Every structure is written in C-alpha cells, then in structure tokens.
Structure 1
Amino acid sequence: MAKQKVLITVTTYPLPSRSHDELVCTAGVLENGEWIRIYPVPLSFLIDLKGNGQVNNVKYTWFELELRKRNDDFRPESHSPVNYDFRDLQIIERLDTKSNWLRRKNFVLKKVFTNMPELIELSKAPTNMSLATFKPSSIVRLEWKEEAREWKDEWKDLRKQGDLFALDKDPTILIPKLPYKFWYVFTDDTNKERRLMIEDWEIGALFFNCLRAAEGDEGIALQKVKEKYEDDFKANKDIYFFLGTTREWHMRRARNPFVIIGVFYPKKEIQGALF
C-alpha cells in the first residue's frame, strides 16, 4: 500500500493482552473522513514523539506513513505499519482548536451516527464496521467501578520475553494500572438509555492527574473526573463519541461490540456564537 495520510484522533489506555500489538489502540481518520486503526504502535513512539512524555500530544496530528491491511483482523479498518521502526514516518502538522475546533470538525464529523441499532447492524458481516463517530442525544451520567489495582502477572511477564516498550523503564511504573473503569450512560435518537465503557487514554490520565492534585484521595479525584466528564461536558460541550470495537467481542458477535475510545468535545454553539 502507498503512503497514507492519517489524522490521529484516538489513543486508548493500555490494557493487558496476550498480543504485544494490542496494548494501545491508535486510530484516526483519512482525508476523506474514513476511519483507520493502526497497530502495533510502540508506546515509546507515542511518548517520545514530542519529547515531553505526554501521550495525548499525538492526537489531532497529521502523519504520513506506509500501511498495510492486516490479514489477521477481519475488521476492514485495521492496518499495520510497513516499517515497525517508523523510519518512513513524516509528521505534517497538528490541527489547532481555533474557531471552536473547526479544522478538526472538518475531518472527524464527516460521517456521524446518531442511532446505535443502525451502527450495531453495520458491525455485522459482511460490513464489519468497527470504528465510527457517534453523536449521543444526551449524556445521562458518568459511572465508575473499582477493579483490580495491579496488572496481571501474565502481562508483567511479557516484559521478560522481549522489549515490549523499547524503554528502560518497568512498564508497571511507566503505565500505572487504572484502578477504576468508567462508563457513559447516554441516550441515542431512539430515546433509549445505553451504557458504554470509556477506554480513552485521556480519562485515565485525568484520573491520575486529579489523584496527584488530591494528594492520593481517590474520592476527590473521582469527583474531579465527574466534574469534567459529566457536569462540565453536559453544560458546556457539544459531545461526540469515537466508538470502536474490541476484536475479541466483535469476533464473538456480541450484542454490542463497541466501546468509547475517544470523546470529542468542542464548545456548544448557540445561534452561531460560542456558548
């Protein structure tokens, strides 16, 4: 495949996996607005790209690189870099947020779904759609649940089998285990309440930033996450979800294989003016 120009819009929080190449999902859109998933993408690439340790800085950056369709993944959007060392990668530009994210909107909002049953139907064979932009009718609430606080030994052992991250750091230190899972409860245009897990890297990073500011008080940190993702977003933001399927549950043909892999949140606009 020839070089592809990709606007990165999604990096998910790393999750334990038997496969080295699905620890971080990186996805974006092409110039025509079509979605594309790229893996494996080394964590060192995401962290070191800007030289400041912030993974989210790759988001809304145009890259150009050679990609090939993955033969081991039935989802049509899934591709791999031809060169895993990214020697052919060109960084073009990062889209700013001027005019209420106008330049970003021009690409990520070219095709927007509002009906979850329609999207689920498209995830079935033969279409197998696995990435989409979705506009909820309303955000009902943010939910969370405590889960295991340590990575499984099986995942830690991957470090011993090879240089998984290409970094001179213990991955359990580099990527702390997120001790909570987060969900959005929302409605679509059928007025039915729906619930999807949020796997965006951004919400995990926000939790840990709030935890540090709260000097380790998880209750305060969780309330700060709620203030942004529920209170502020509902009141002030025009919310869109970037949805993606997990390969495992898509292969199993789960009733709804989608999770929220990113949240797009420009300000609300009223009569053409920013709210």
Structure 2
Amino acid sequence: MALKKVLITVTTYPLPSRSYDELVCTAGILDDGSWIRIYPVPLSFLKDLKKGTGFKKYTWVELDLKKRTDDFRPESHSPNNYKIKIFDTLDTKDFWRERKRFCINNFYTNKAKLIQDSQKPTNISLATFKPSKIIDFVVEEDDKEWKDEWKELRKQTDLFAEIESDPEKLIPKVPFKFYYIFEDDEGVSSRLMIEDWEIFELYKNCFKRTKNEKQAVDLVKKKYFDIFTTKNDIYLFLGTTMEWHRRRSPNPFVIIGVFYPLIQDQLSLDL
C-alpha cells in the first residue's frame, strides 16, 4: 500500500490524440508541495466531476498509488485501485489564501529554466508558472466531431467502463482550441494550448446560453483575457504529454490549469 494524500488541482479535457491511458490527465499537489500525475483515471469519474464530487478541484483526496515504471516522468503514478477517501475542499476566502498555501509555494518565471529542468536528469513534467504578461488569448477552429480514433480508444481500454450513457454524449466535442500567448521574466514569449476541463465547460455553458458559437467564444475570451488580465493574479499549471516530452520537443508543455485568485491590492494587505 502506498497511500498518498493529494490536493487535486487539474483535470484536463479528454483528448483522443493522446495515448489511451493518458486520455484524461488528473494531477495535484502533495502536502509537501510537490506535483503528482495520476493516470489512468476511468471516465466514469467524470460523472462524479460533473456532479461536484469525486475529483473535484482543490479537494484533498487519499489514494493508493504506485510509481509508473513505463513513464520516465518522475511525477507519474497509477492507482492500485479506485477507492478514494475524500477530505475537505479548499475555499476561495481571503483571496484564495488556503489554495495559495499549496499551489504557489514554488513556481517558475523563466521559460529557459523550466525547459532545462524538463530535460535529463530531472525530467520535470509538471510545474506552476507565473507569466510576467499575458499577451493574447487565441481561439482556433477544430473538428466538430470526434475522430474515429476516439471510437478505437473505446475498444482498447476500460476507461469508459461503468459509464451508463454514451461517452460522446457525456463528453461532447468542443469545436475550438484555446491558447494563451504570454511572456516570461525575460520577455520570451510562449504560445501554449489550454487543456483544462474548466475552459471547455465554460464554452459549453456559454453556447448553451447563447446558442451561437461566436458569442460563446467571445464570452470565453472575455473571462480568460479581458477579466483575468485586469482583475486576477494569473498562474499557469503546466504539464507535458509523454510523447512530446520523450521526443524532447523545444517546449513539451501545455497549460493544464489556470490558477486565478483576484488581485490583492495594497488596501486589503493592510487590513
């Protein structure tokens, strides 16, 4: 038994372009502040996520985990079983004070340093990054339907086990990709895709309300760019996919989560 208490901070949207067992990336922070990646996670847990239970963000959970031997990334673990003990959820009081205690104790501000640490021998594959400036929020059109690869994945794995409804209905395809363009502390820019479950859920909710793709996209951009860059103190949770990390891509990271407490002004600091 290797029970670990994990603060769940990341659940990415399912992307069939990944290897089948990394279809959904769930990651979090241990009580010592270090990152951990957990996969595979059956998509049946997504039903709990939608209900606000299970792998809810910023909830402490305890799982029986083992280090993956087929993954060179040090943070990667697999559940020995899916018996999960759920503890408290950290709230957003006092400008996310409790969440900040664990999520931003250690973070990068320099792209070159991050890329260096992602290489041998450390192979860091999960990190918190503080951009010095967010330059733009880019939206690109994507396929409107899941590719055949999605269906093949359903045949290859039990990730869809125990799902009562059709996975395509449970997880509808979002026909857009979202990117942040941002600078580090030396003014070096990066353009990274946002794979956080939260942004795709936001789009779906906006589309449900407006019944219009352009209006839905505009609402997503309003939150992630117009509001976040003026009212929120943005940190990015970054992670690599095993394929591109193994290939030693110039930048194997994607944005797997956005940490966005409100900016704490000087007046609130003095109170």
TM range (shorter): over 0.9
Distance 1:131-1:43 versus aligned 2 partners, 3 A rule: same
1:47 deviates by: 2.2
With normalisation by structure 2, the TM-score equals 0.94
- Residue type matched to 2:150 in 1? W
| Partner SS state of residue 136, structure 1 | coil
In the aligned structure 2, how far is the partner of 1:142 from the partner of 1:65?
A: 36
Name segments (4+ residues, structure 1) moved above 4 Å: 54-57, 160-163
Instruction: Specify every segment of 5 or more residues in structure 2 that has no aligned partner in the other structure, as ranges.
Output: none
In structure 2, the partner of 1:212 is 208
Aligned residue among 241, 251, 255 for 1:246: 241
Q: Over the residues paired in the alignment, what is the CA RMSD in angstroms?
A: 1.7
- Give the secondary-structure state (helix, strand or coil) at the position aligned to 1:93: strand
SS of the aligned residue for 2:151 comes to helix
2:178 aligned residue (175, 182, 185): 182
1:80 is matched with 78
Alignment correspondent of 1:109? 104
Moved more, 6-15 or 156-165: 156-165
8 Å CA contact 2:42, 2:158 repeated in 1: no
In the alignment, is the contact (CA less than 8 A) between 2:91 and 2:98 conserved in 1? yes
When residues 56 and 220 of structure 1 are mapped into structure 2, their CA distance, relative to the original with a 3 A threshold, is farther
2:135 and 2:183 in contact (8 A); partners too: yes
Q: Percent identity?
A: 60
- Which residue of structure 2 lines up, in the alignment, with residue 155 of structure 1? 150
After superposing the two structures, state which structure 1 stretch, 15-24 or 69-78, moved more: 15-24
- C-alpha distance in 1 between matches for 2:135 and 2:206: 23
Equivalent pairs counted in the alignment come to: 268
Q: How does 1:1-275 map to 2 (within 5 A)?
A: 2-17=2-17, 19-48=19-48, 53-54=51-52, 58-83=56-81, 86-87=82-83, 89-160=84-155, 163-165=158-160, 166-215=162-211, 217-271=212-266, 273=268
How far apart are residue 71 of structure 1 and its match?
0.3
Would the alpha carbon gap of residues 170 and 128 (structure 1) be closer, same or farther in structure 2, given more than 3 Å must change? same
Which whole-Å CA distance do the structure 2 matches of 1:269 and 1:251 have between them? 39
Alpha-carbon distance between aligned partners in 1 of 2:248 and 2:19, rounded to the nearest angstrom = 20
Instruction: Give the AA of the match of 2:231.
Output: N
Q: Whole-Å Cα distance in 1 between the matches of residues 148 and 55 of structure 2?
A: 30
> Measured at CA, do residues 119 and 65 of structure 1 come closer, stay the same or move farther in structure 2, by a change above 3 Å?
same
Which letter maps to 2:74?
P
Q: Relative to structure 1, is the Cα distance of residues 67 and 164 closer, same or farther in structure 2, using a 3 angstrom cutoff?
A: closer
What displacement does 1:48 show? 2.0
**Do the aligned partners of residues 241 and 176 (structure 1) sit closer, same or farther apart at CA in structure 2, a change above 3 Å counting?**
same
Q: Which 5+ residue runs of structure 1 have no aligned equivalent?
A: none
Question: 2:53 and 2:247 mapped to 1: Cα distance?
Answer: 31
| Gap change, CA 1:57 and 1:77, over 3 Å in 2 | closer
